Structures are given as C-alpha cells and as structure tokens.
Chain A
C-alpha cells in the first residue's frame, strides 16, 4: 500500500508544486469565467432565436435548431481541435482575430474560450428553452394583448420568469463547463491538467494530478449541493403556489 500512497499522495511533491498547480488552476477558473459569461448571453440569444415567431423568421429558427443540435452532437475536444488547428490559417480573417492574444492571454486560451462558448451556448440555449416553455402561454398572450411586441413580451414578461425556473440546471451546466476547461490542455494551454501532467512525466508521480482533482472538488462539490438545494426550493415553491393558480 505504501507504493499506492507514494504514487498518489506524495505530500512532498504536492507541497513543492502547490503554487505552480494552483496558479494553473486559476487559469482554468479564468477560462471558466470568461466562457461562462459569454455562453450565458449566447445561449439566451440562441434560445430567443429559436422561439422567434412568424413565418418570416422560420429560416432563423431552423438554423438555430440545426446549430444547437450539431454543436451538442460533436465532442468538445474535436471542436477545440478544429478551431485551434484551422482558424490560424484562415488568412481572410484579420490576424488579430485569427490569432488572438487579447488581454495578455495566448491564442490557445481564446480558442478554448471560443469552443466552450460555441458548445455551452447550445447546451444553455436548451436550458433557457425549458425555462421559457415552463412559463404559461397566457403570459405571452396577456403581454401581446396589451400591445407589447414579441420581443418586449420576452424581455419584460417571459424571460424574467423563465430564469427563475432554471438556476439548478444552469448551475449543472456551469459545473460541466468548469470541468471541461481541462480539455484546453490538449492545445498546449498551461492550465492545471497540463501542468500536472508535466510533473507526472518528470517525476513519474501522480500526486500533482490528485492536487488538481482536489481543486476541482473544492469548487464543484459545493456546487452540486447547491443544485440539490435549488431543486428542493423550487419544488416547494411549486407546491406552495399551486393552490393560488386554481383559486
């Protein structure tokens, strides 16, 4: 058993590389925050496009549904590789965009952010959709009958109610998103998984990877508990509200 503990829980190695792995983990968090915020907005845009009314907007609906389905069907890693492997060579795109180095972050960071936004935007669009569809039809009808446009009704009536119904599934997406930031290590971005793999290769010891796992646990476990709490709270709200609906 000693061999086991030395392989995975060598506190000497953990201590020696703690700062290095922690700093790399902060890069995971940074990707997470940037991609998370943009995906949250992109997902809402997709959800609204998908719910757009009328015959004229049918092409937008079809395109949006196709986008959402396709992006959810392709492995995230493949998308990351497609973007980072090809975009730098698309010479018709301005250099500052095709090889982005914004805010002092290297281009793999931005390729990773882009891939995560494209894919998680699609996932989050579906979460928004569930929320929007959970708002009774009568809300939209009442808003429209008062003269509001479809977009006004969405903005002031439907979406504000929809977002109160989805914090739990949305938080689940965020937990997945944080974990998936590790895939950006495949395109040589120095986040925690890449750094601990380098330590593994150097020392033939996995303790740094365990340290990385620990950092993710610290963030994701409370998140999972929070999801459960939100689901319970939402359910009790529904049961409390139900008699009012009928009254």
Chain B
C-alpha cells in the first residue's frame, strides 16, 4: 500500500442501542480510491461520517495523515476544534442529497467556506471557484441557484464546493443514488477525472461498474463489519465470502 492517508482500527459506533459499526479496520493509501459496497444499513455511510467526525466513533482509532483524530481534548463530543479543524481542512465530503445551500448561487456555494473558514479574499476565492466549476463542466452556471440546476449539475457543484477547501481526501456518500439514471454518468465522469488526478477517495456506492473500473480496492461491508476487501476484480468477480456472493448476486441480477 502507498503511504497511508486514512487508517481505521477497531472503529465502533452506536446510535442509542443500535451498534452500527462493530469494529472496522480499513486503510486508505495516498492517491488510492477505495469503493465501499454493501446492503443498506451495513454501516458504510456511518463509516464516512466517522472519518470526518460528523459522527465521532465511541471506540477505536482513526489516523488521518498519521494523527489519531479520535484522541485529544474534547474528542468524541464532535465539538472539539482541536481535531475538527485538522480533519475538516483535509477531508471533503459529498452527500447523497447534495445539500447545496439553496439561498446561494453555484459560485457562492463554492466560495463561502474558503472565505469564511480559510479567510480568503472574495477575488481570490471567486477566481478559484470559477476554475473549479469550469472543471466540473459548469463554467456557464456560476450565477444560478441550485433549484434551477438538474440533480447531476447540483451534485457536480457539491463536488466543486468540497474541492474548494483543497482537501487531501474526498468522501463520497452514495452520491449518485438520488439521481435520475441519465444523470449518473456526468457525476461518475467527474469522479473518475478526480481519481485520475490522484485524489485519495473513499467512495460509498452502488455503482458496481464504477467500483470495478476506478477502485483500487473494493470493500464489502455488512452488519457493521468489513466482510471482504481486495482488488475489484477479486471481490467482484470471485468473492470468497458467502455474504458478498449473495449481495453481488442480488445487485447484478437487476
């Protein structure tokens, strides 16, 4: 594996009495694309939320660029700026429901955090924002509000918004699941380009084709644990575990 970027060791997370992650170990090397598959409720999304501390784990360790982000003053509460600043300036996230800011234009969505969090000037952040929206193919939509954009366009704005913070790792949480089928490709293409440029990516997806083509590793999760992990070819074509076989059988049958 390349130089480790994100490393999870024995990560556990519960919501009330429901234990969603039951001890997850996972490593993401620099520049790697890890695709996580699994049935709904398997803990894939929670895993991503642990990595950027939206849902801090109760147990276990998460190393980001070598630093244990679950330790230190106020850790676990989700409100200690000691780790939060470190994490959120390095980890970008894209959501299933886009979560664009509806009262801001596409460009403002992209420039808000750089201005408010990184303290960049309006001119500087807008120049960067324009370039980023250009890069995701939306250079002509700068002044439009999210509700006037298609789902695919909104999701690409969301990707540009996350990239504006110059993250070292990008988390993608089922980013094509809420899209009409004909809009999925444009978002996957954007992600593919990002992967080719060497971005470290942790992708929760149901797009088997994408995982096979772009993923360096495929992780199959079920019931809060990693059931199987390996090269896409191996996991997708000749899964060792019975649970993986059953899941892939159901998905590929469609």
Contact = CB atoms under 8 A, between A and B. Distances in A.
Nearest to A240: B147
A138 B97 contact: yes
Chain B at the A interface: mostly helix, strand, loop or mixed?
A: loop
Given A146-B165, A147-B117, A245-B97, 4 more contacts: A136-B99, A142-B100, A144-B54, A247-B150
A145 B147 contact: no
B151 interface: yes
B177 interface: no
A156 B178 CA distance: 26
A244 B152 CA distance: 12
B88 A150 contact: no
B77 A139 contact: no
A235 interface: no
B254 interface: no
A145 B112 contact: no
B154 to A, nearest CB: 8
A177 B139 CA distance: 49
Contact of A53 (B79, B97, B158, B161): B79
Nearest to A55: B77
Nearest to B88: A147
A161 B102 contact: yes
Contacts of B161: 146
Interface residues of A, number: 28
B103 interface: yes
Interface in B51-96: 52, 54, 74, 77-79, 81, 85, 88-89, 91-93, 95
11 contacts: A55-B77, A142-B100, A146-B161, A146-B162, A147-B85, A147-B88, A147-B118, A150-B79, A161-B102, A244-B147, A247-B151
Contacts of B140: none
Contacts, number: 74
Given A136-B99, A138-B99, A147 B151 contact: no
A200 interface: no
Given A147-B89, A161-B103, A142 B77 contact: no
Given A145-B88, A146-B117, A54 B79 contact: yes
A160 B112 CA distance: 14
A131 to B, nearest CB: 13
A154 to B, nearest CB: 12
Nearest to A155: B116
A54 B77 CA distance: 6
B54 A145 contact: yes
A176 interface: no
A241 B74 CA distance: 40
Contact of B101 (A139, A144, A150, A244): A139
